[in-house]
Amino acid sequence: MSNVRVGLVGIGAQTQENLLPSLLQTPDIHVAAACDGVAERARLVHRHIKDVELYDDIAKMLTDTKLDALVVACPPQAHRDIATLAMSRGVHVFVEKPPCFTLEELLSLTELSRKSGLVTGVGMNFRFARPIQHLRLIRSEPHFGRTAHIQLNHYANKPRAPMWGLDSTLRSFLLAQAIHTIDLAMLFGGDVKETRSEVQNDNGSLIVEINISFKNGATASILTGTMFPYFEFEMKLISDTSTMVRLDNLSDITLHEPDHVTRAGGNDKRWRGYWRPGPLDSGYVRSGYQSELQSFFDAIRTGGKFEADFANLIPTYEVIEQVCEKGDRLAADVAIDALNLLQGHKPDLQASDLGQ
């Protein structure tokens, strides 16, 4: 298959600002149809490309237009339902993150994709971003050694209220934001042995600490939440050769090594090297949007597998479920304490009395 016929679904901010511009830079792609539940949003696609059929109903689009793949950026419940429908019609599907609300839903999607043999993908663009690709390269060099620890600080200031019709701010935050950070811990860590977490929840303002042990002996610690003044992202990889790589704000990389030998500088101790994306790197390549889509379409053409497919996200959702369970127990404890206080410290109130 040379030209992949693509249908876009959900012509909101993410499609207009990132996915459609990235698709326009991707060779051998033909955007044949576009769909949004709000008809005038679908029409916005004509600003960029004229020869596109427009729809306000996904089932009709799939019936009327021959498509190889969908690229979907809607709320998660629509991702889940549209991916299910697309797979039942034999159409490959890429959905933005999050693909669904729960681990159980992800397992159903994974089972459908396994049975259909279609290529699936989730928009985990952090792992395709240029600086993360560079970290992956550094990590693959033999002298880097074994990854011993991954430290991730993902500071955010939203959401502080539930999104997408969910009743939990914690789950909304994990699915909307921390999913990228947990996914990076999985990417650099490997198979999970154990996850521990602590949640502070001050009226939707969250501090979330997650500690993960991996089967290969590595560990990861994630500090995240919405109790921060603004978005910042820091990451460190530490190896058993005492090498430390630091990534600041998904841009600048500093490599710290105890010893370093170069032809120009000779043998040096306490060496630091710097890397940053080139000034001419296109924004969509740098942020990973273009590379993830390119790689998804390559998998369709070659009959291969896209690395961030539904199955690949399962360990990330297992961590999300663990954190939510811990956070919900905390919320129930806080509610019980408050009720006991109101009732004059009656000691025998249980979580089940609150329907938790």
Identity of the residue, 175 or 238, whose beta carbon is nearer to ligand NAD in the bound complex: 175
Site for ligand NAD in 164-193 (CB under 6 A): 176
Query: Least CB distance from residue 347 to ligand NAD, whole Å?
Result: 43
Query: Least CB distance from residue 198 to ligand NAD, whole Å?
Result: 25
Contact 192, 262 (CB under 8 A): no
Phi, psi of 145 (to 5 degrees): 85, -155
Residue 119's SS3 state is coil
Identity of the residue, 40 or 259, whose beta carbon is nearer to ligand NAD in the bound complex: 40
Query: Least CB distance from residue 334 to ligand NAD, whole Å?
Result: 28
* Beta-carbon-side half-sphere exposure of residue 38 (alpha carbons within 13 Å): 7
The stretch near ligand NAD (CB under 6 A) out of 34-42, 44-52, 62-70, 294-302 is: 34-42
- 59 to 98: interface string for ligand NAD, x by CB under 6 A: --------------xxxx-x-----------------xx-
Give the closest residue to 322 by CA, choosing from 198, 217, 155.
198
Query: Least CB distance from residue 74 to ligand NAD, whole Å?
Result: 4
Contact call for residue 44 and ligand NAD (CB under 6 A): no
> What residues contact residue 53 under an 8 Å CB cut-off, 6+ apart?
32, 33, 34, 61, 64, 65
Nearest residue to ligand NAD by CB is: 12
* Cβ count near 25 (within 10 Å): 14
Site for ligand NAD in 4-33 (CB under 6 A): 9-15
Site for ligand NAD in 198-227 (CB under 6 A): none
The b-or-e profile of 86-116 (16+ CB within 10 A means b, else e) is: bbeeebbbbbbbbbbbbbebbeebbebbeeb
Identity of the residue, 9 or 218, whose beta carbon is nearer to ligand NAD in the bound complex: 9
CA 70 to chain centroid? 18
Provide the pairing of β-strand 69-72 with 147-155.
unpaired
Q: Where does the chain have alpha helices with state H? A: 13-14, 20-24, 39-43, 58-64, 76-88, 103-116, 130-140, 169-173, 179-189, 283-286, 289-302, 314-342
The burial class, CB within 10 Å (0-12 / 13-18 / 19+), for 44 is: middle
Contact call for residue 300 and ligand NAD (CB under 6 A): no
Identity of the residue, 58 or 331, whose beta carbon is nearer to ligand NAD in the bound complex: 58
Identity of the residue, 218 or 247, whose beta carbon is nearer to ligand NAD in the bound complex: 247
Q: What six digits make up the tokens of 86? A: 């697309």
Query: Least CB distance from residue 338 to ligand NAD, whole Å?
Result: 33
Identity of the residue, 31 or 255, whose beta carbon is nearer to ligand NAD in the bound complex: 31
Of the candidate residues 58, 62, 192, 218, the single one contacting ligand NAD (CB under 6 A): 58
Query: Least CB distance from residue 124 to ligand NAD, whole Å?
Result: 7
Identity of the residue, 122 or 208, whose beta carbon is nearer to ligand NAD in the bound complex: 122
Query: Least CB distance from residue 97 to ligand NAD, whole Å?
Result: 5
- 112 to 151: interface string for ligand NAD, x by CB under 6 A: -----------x-x--------------------------
> What residues contact residue 113 under an 8 Å CB cut-off, 6+ apart?
87, 120, 309, 310, 311
Identity of the residue, 36 or 105, whose beta carbon is nearer to ligand NAD in the bound complex: 36
* Cβ count near 313 (within 10 Å): 26
Distance CA 292, CA 350 (A): 47
The burial class, CB within 10 Å (0-12 / 13-18 / 19+), for 37 is: middle
Residue numbers of the site for ligand NAD (CB under 6 A)? 9-15, 35-38, 41, 58, 73-76, 78, 96-97, 123, 125, 176
